[in-house]
Chain A
Amino acid sequence: MIEVQNLVKKYGPVTAVKGISFTAQPGQVTGFLGPNGAGKTTTMRMLTGFLPPTAGKATVAGHDVFENSLEVRKRVGYLPESVPLYRDMTALAYLMYVGEIRGVAKRRDKAFEVLERVALAHRADSRIRTLSKGMRQRVGLASTLLHDPDVLILDEPTIGLDPLQVLELRELVRELGKRHTVLFSTHILSEAEQVCDSVVIINQGEIIAQGAPVELRGMLEQGGRVLLRVNVPLENALPIIQGMSEVAHAEISGDSIVATPVNPTSDPRPAIARAIVQQGWDLVELRPLAVNLEEIFLELTRRQAAANGEQSEAAPDVTETESEVSS
Chain B
Amino acid sequence: MRQIFAVYKREIGLYFRSPVAYAIAFALLLFFGLLFSNSISTGNGQAPADSVNFVPNLLTFLLFLVGPLLTMRLLAEETREGTLEVLMTLPMRESQFIIGKFLAVWTYYTVVLLLTVIYHIILTSIGTPDAGRAFTMYLGAWLYGGAVLAVTMIWSAVTEDQIVAAFLGAATVLVLYLAEVAASWFANLPNQSDASGLTNFVRELGLQAHYEATLLQGIIRLEDILYFVFVIIAALFITTRIVEVRRWRS
Q: Which residues of A contact B (CB under 8 A)?
A: 11, 45, 48-52, 70, 73-74, 76, 78, 80, 82, 84-86, 88-89, 97-98, 100-103, 143
Nearest first, the 6 closest Cβ-Cβ pairs linking A and B are A84-B82, A100-B6, A48-B89, A84-B83, A73-B91, A74-B91
Pick the contact of A51: B3, B5, B86, B248 (CB < 8 A).
B248
B85 within 8 A of A: yes
Known: A50-B247, A80-B85, A103-B2. A97 touches B91 (CB 8 A): no
Tell me the complex Cα distance, A97–B10, Å: 8
Tell me the complex Cα distance, A102–B83, Å: 15
Known: A50-B247, A97-B10, A101-B6. A84 touches B81 (CB 8 A): yes
- When C-beta atoms are compared, the residue in chain A nearest to B4 turns out to be A101
Pick the contact of B2: A48, A86, A100 (CB < 8 A).
A100
Q: Is the CB of A70 within 8 A of B93?
A: yes
Tell me the complex Cα distance, A102–B7, Å: 12
Q: Is the CB of A86 within 8 A of B90?
A: no
Q: Is the CB of A88 within 8 A of B248?
A: no
Tell me the complex Cα distance, A167–B83, Å: 27
- When C-beta atoms are compared, the residue in chain B nearest to A143 turns out to be B86
Known: A100-B2, A100-B6, A101-B7. A52 touches B248 (CB 8 A): yes
Tell me the complex Cα distance, A49–B87, Å: 11
- When C-beta atoms are compared, the residue in chain A nearest to B88 turns out to be A50
Q: What are 9 A-B pairs with beta-carbon distances under 8 A?
A: A49-B89, A50-B85, A51-B250, A70-B91, A76-B89, A78-B89, A82-B85, A89-B10, A98-B86
B14 within 8 A of A: yes
B20 within 8 A of A: no
Known: A52-B248, A84-B82. A97 touches B6 (CB 8 A): yes
- When C-beta atoms are compared, the residue in chain B nearest to A70 turns out to be B91
Interface residues on B, range: 20 to 34
B27 within 8 A of A: no
CB of B87 to closest CB in A, whole Å: 8
Other contacts beyond A84-B84, A85-B83: 7, CB < 8 A: A11-B249, A45-B85, A80-B82, A86-B83, A98-B86, A101-B87, A101-B90
Residues in A with CB closer than 8 Å to B93 are 70
Residues in A with CB closer than 8 Å to B250 are 51
Tell me the complex Cα distance, A89–B10, Å: 9
Known: A50-B85, A85-B83. A102 touches B248 (CB 8 A): no
Q: Which residues of B contact A (CB under 8 A)?
A: 2-3, 5-7, 9-10, 14, 81-93, 247-250
CB of A167 to closest CB in B, whole Å: 26
Tell me the complex Cα distance, A86–B80, Å: 12
- When C-beta atoms are compared, the residue in chain B nearest to A97 turns out to be B10
Known: A86-B83, A100-B6. A50 touches B89 (CB 8 A): yes
Tell me the complex Cα distance, A84–B90, Å: 13
Q: Is the CB of A98 within 8 A of B248?
A: no
Q: Is the CB of A102 within 8 A of B91?
A: yes
CB of A101 to closest CB in B, whole Å: 5
Tell me the complex Cα distance, A52–B91, Å: 16
- When C-beta atoms are compared, the residue in chain A nearest to B250 turns out to be A51
Residues in B with CB closer than 8 Å to A78 are 86, 89
Tell me the complex Cα distance, A326–B249, Å: 22
- When C-beta atoms are compared, the residue in chain B nearest to A51 turns out to be B248
Known: A70-B91, A74-B91. A101 touches B3 (CB 8 A): yes
Q: Is the CB of A98 within 8 A of B85?
A: no
- When C-beta atoms are compared, the residue in chain A nearest to B82 turns out to be A84
Tell me the complex Cα distance, A48–B6, Å: 21
Residues in B with CB closer than 8 Å to A76 are 89
- When C-beta atoms are compared, the residue in chain A nearest to B5 turns out to be A100
Tell me the complex Cα distance, A51–B85, Å: 10
Residues in B with CB closer than 8 Å to A80 are 82, 85-86
Q: Is the CB of B82 within 8 A of A73?
A: no
CB of B74 to closest CB in A, whole Å: 14
Residues in B with CB closer than 8 Å to A48 are 89
Tell me the complex Cα distance, A76–B88, Å: 12
Q: Is the CB of A98 within 8 A of B90?
A: yes
- When C-beta atoms are compared, the residue in chain B nearest to A74 turns out to be B91
Residues in A with CB closer than 8 Å to B5 are 100
- When C-beta atoms are compared, the residue in chain A nearest to B86 turns out to be A84
Residues in A with CB closer than 8 Å to B81 are 84, 86
Pick the contact of B82: A49, A82, A97, A98 (CB < 8 A).
A82
Residues in A with CB closer than 8 Å to B249 are 11
- When C-beta atoms are compared, the residue in chain B nearest to A73 turns out to be B91
Q: Is the CB of B6 within 8 A of A73?
A: no
Residue among A74, A82, A100, A101 having the largest count of chain B Cβ atoms under 10 Å: A101
Residues in A with CB closer than 8 Å to B247 are 50-51
Residues in A with CB closer than 8 Å to B3 are 101
Residues in B with CB closer than 8 Å to A89 are 10
Tell me the complex Cα distance, A85–B86, Å: 8
Q: Is the CB of A88 within 8 A of B14?
A: yes
Residues in B with CB closer than 8 Å to A88 are 14
Tell me the complex Cα distance, A103–B90, Å: 10
Tell me the complex Cα distance, A86–B87, Å: 11
Residues in B with CB closer than 8 Å to A50 are 85, 88-89, 247
Tell me the complex Cα distance, A73–B92, Å: 9
